Each structure stands twice: as structure tokens, then as C-alpha cells.
């Protein structure tokens, strides 16, 4: 059973991350002002772009802290709307694809062009971004990510498959634990809090579904999540 | 003519950065750290074309100020965009009479698009 949340700590995380958002906004604006006054091909512009991406990373970390705080205090609230799932998935993937150096996304939706379900679209997008960027991050030698969509009588299933380093069986449950970072020998780690999958799984569980991974070491991984049909109209 | 924006937020840094950026974009920006401007706004001859309002202002409440604006017959036509970094405000933000809501940290270009959209709409309504 989960330890009862420490309310002082959770309150602190919530207030601190809230307070961090305002300076981050100002930093972004000043970086944008600077961008306007620099020649496009200068070294300074290169450094500025790096600065900008670090600000984005900071924004992401703040957001993750806030989400953790919401989950731990049971304050993660969903705002559901009826959405067309294949449309949402392909939009998110296409938007991300332009930021990838070589990876391309293939859709394995079968004949499913329309599948309406009631979900929190912003939260679902957050989950998809997490899974798709992980798939790219952990498959540096590959150039493909496949997204699967299928359903049965009770659930809709979405799978994000990469052809990368895979995950040993021993880690397959641990990766969904908050702040867990793979630290074994020969395991490449990436910067971050190690909470992305935990947050994604909690978002899906809050929808009444679940998230899990099917993977073999060096053969790639497929992260699946399910969403219940009962939410569909 | 330059569009006039009134920006109310208790954080002087965000007031300054947004003001600089919007002025470079051709807007005229007045800033207010506590929301007191609202008290005398209806008496002014020249009113802002749009108000940017932080939700939680030190010593004041952006939601109450917005409701006050929308109850005032001299001010209610002015579009209000509310801004907040506070989690959970996004969905409830539609209930205070404001025309827009943007969560912090925001993309400045998104804010400008929203300002343009709302000030154009107003102009169209009164033409």
C-alpha cells in the first residue's frame, strides 16, 4: 500500500512548481527578444537555441513535479471530451515527427479511421508524447516507431512500438515506479526525473485503463495502454 | 492606431517582459501590480482595448476584478484574457466572464494571436 502523502511536502512541491512557472515565462520572452536581435547564422543564435531548449526542459520538469504532486495528493482531475482517437494519435505523432532527426512514425490502425471515446485530450496527448519520445530516445539505431490501435468488447488498446535496446524482464515493472532510473551496467540513462512513465500510467489508470510493456532485451519494446469502452458514447 | 493593453499581474518581472515584447509588436501597454486601475477605469475617457489579468494577484483576486469589469456597463465590452500558473484553473476559468484564458508558462506568440483575435472581434462588433 502506498505511504500516506506528506501534506507539507506535497504542498511545498505544488507551491514551488507554481512559483517556478512565472520566471520561466519571463525567461522564454527575453530569449525570444534576444532571438529577434541576433543574426540568424551567428554562434550566439546557436547558443540561444540551446538556452531555449534548456528552458523548455525546465518547463517540463516543473510540469512533472506538479503532476507528481497532484497524483500523490489524489488531485489529478480529468476533463473529458469526446474525441476521435486515431485523429488525436496521428496529430500528436505528426507534430512530434518534425522534431525528430531521423525517426518516422508508421500507423497500424487497420481500417479504424474513426473511433470516438471520451478522454481528457490534453492528458492523453501528454501520455502519447511521453511514449513516442521515449520510443525514439531508446532506439537510437533504428529509424521507425510503430503505433498500433486495436479494440475488443471492453477496451481500446494503443501500442507504441520501438525497435531499440529493449528492457530486461527484471526492469519491466520497475520502470513505472516514480523516480526510478535504470542504472545497471551498460545501461544508457537519460536526464530527467524518471517520472514520465509513472505519470502516464497514472493518467491512464485514472481513465479506468492500464499501461504495461512488452519487451525483449535488444529487440525493442511496445508500450501498451488500454482505455475502457464504457467511456465511449 | 496602437491597441491599448492593460496588464494586471503582481509579478513585476512578467509585467516588464510582456510589456517590452508587446510594445515591440506595436501595442501600447499599461501595467498594474495590484489591480487598483480597475477602480478608476470606468471614469477614463480612453479605455484599454483589452485587459490581461492574472488570476491570483497579491492583495487582490483577478476573478473578482473580472466579474467587476463584466458587471460595469462602461467596461463590460473590454475583452479580458486571464492568465494563471495555478494548476486546475484552466477549466473553471470560463466562469468569470472572461473571453480567454492562457496558462503560464505561455508562448508569447500564442498570447499575441489571442489578443489580435479578441481585439479584431471587438472592432468588428462595433463597426
Reported ipTM? 0.79
What pLDDT digit, counting tens, does each position of B83-115 carry? Answer: 988 756 665 666 788 888 888 888 899 999 999
| CB contact (8 A) between residue A22 and residue B86 | no
Mutation pick from A21, A55, A57 vs chain B, by most beta carbons of B within 10 Å, is A21
pLDDT at B123 over 50: no
- Nearest residue of A to residue B23, measured between CA atoms: A33
Measure CA A160 to chain center: 11
C-alpha cell at position B124: 468588428
For the entire predicted model, the pTM comes to 0.70
For A96-121, the pLDDT digits (tens) are 998 898 999 999 998 877 899 999 98
pLDDT at A130 over 90: yes
Half-sphere exposure of A39 (CA within 13 A, CB side): 3
- Is A22 in contact with B20 (Cβ distance < 8 A)? no
User: Helix B108-126 vs helix B12-24: angle between axes, to the nearest 10 degrees?
Assistant: 60
Consecutive H or E run containing A16: helix A7-36
* Cell numbers standing for residue B88: 486546475
Amino acid at each position: 500500500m502506498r505511504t500516506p502523502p506528506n501534506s507539507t511536502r506535497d504542498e511545498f512541491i505544488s507551491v514551488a512548481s507554481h512559483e517556478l512557472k512565472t520566471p520561466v515565462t519571463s525567461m522564454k520572452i527575453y530569449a525570444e527578444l534576444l532571438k529577434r536581435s541576433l543574426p540568424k547564422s551567428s554562434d550566439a543564435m546557436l547558443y540561444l537555441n540551446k538556452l531555449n531548449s534548456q528552458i523548455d526542459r525546465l518547463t517540463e520538469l516543473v510540469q512533472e513535479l506538479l503532476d507528481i504532486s497532484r497524483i500523490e495528493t489524489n488531485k489529478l482531475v480529468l476533463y473529458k471530451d469526446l474525441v476521435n482517437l486515431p485523429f488525436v494519435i496521428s496529430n500528436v505523432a505528426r507534430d512530434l515527427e518534425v522534431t525528430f532527426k531521423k525517426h518516422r512514425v508508421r500507423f497500424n490502425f487497420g481500417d479504424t479511421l474513426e473511433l470516438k471515446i471520451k478522454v481528457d485530450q490534453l492528458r492523453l496527448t501528454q501520455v502519447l508524447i511521453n511514449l513516442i519520445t521515449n520510443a525514439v530516445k531508446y532506439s537510437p539505431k533504428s529509424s521507425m516507431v510503430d503505433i498500433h490501435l486495436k479494440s475488443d468488447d471492453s477496451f481500446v488498446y494503443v501500442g507504441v512500438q520501438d525497435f531499440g535496446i529493449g528492457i530486461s524482464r527484471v526492469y519491466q515493472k520497475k520502470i513505472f515506479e516514480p523516480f526510478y532510473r535504470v542504472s545497471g551496467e551498460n545501461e544508457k540513462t537519460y536526464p530527467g526525473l524518471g517520472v514520465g512513465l509513472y505519470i502516464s500510467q497514472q493518467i491512464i489508470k485514472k481513465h479506468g485503463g492500464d499501461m504495461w510493456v512488452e519487451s525483449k532485451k535488444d529487440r525493442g519494446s511496445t508500450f501498451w495502454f488500454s482505455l475502457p469502452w464504457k467511456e465511449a458514447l | 492606431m496602437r491597441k491599448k493593453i492593460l496588464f494586471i499581474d503582481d509579478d513585476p518581472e512578467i509585467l516588464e517582459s510582456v510589456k517590452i515584447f508587446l510594445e515591440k509588436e506595436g501595442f501600447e501597454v499599461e501595467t498594474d501590480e495590484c489591480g487598483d486601475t480597475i477602480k478608476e477605469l470606468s471614469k477614463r475617457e480612453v479605455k484599454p482595448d483589452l485587459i490581461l489579468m492574472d488570476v491570483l494577484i497579491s492583495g487582490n483576486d483577478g476573478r473578482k476584478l473580472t466579474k467587476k469589469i463584466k458587471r460595469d456597463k462602461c467596461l463590460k465590452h473590454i475583452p479580458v484574457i486571464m492568465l494563471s500558473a495555478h494548476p486546475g484553473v484552466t477549466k473553471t476559468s470560463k466562469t468569470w466572464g472572461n473571453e480567454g484564458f492562457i496558462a503560464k508558462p505561455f508562448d508569447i506568440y500564442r498570447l499575441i494571436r489571442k489578443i489580435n483575435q479578441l481585439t479584431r472581434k471587438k472592432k468588428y462588433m462595433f463597426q
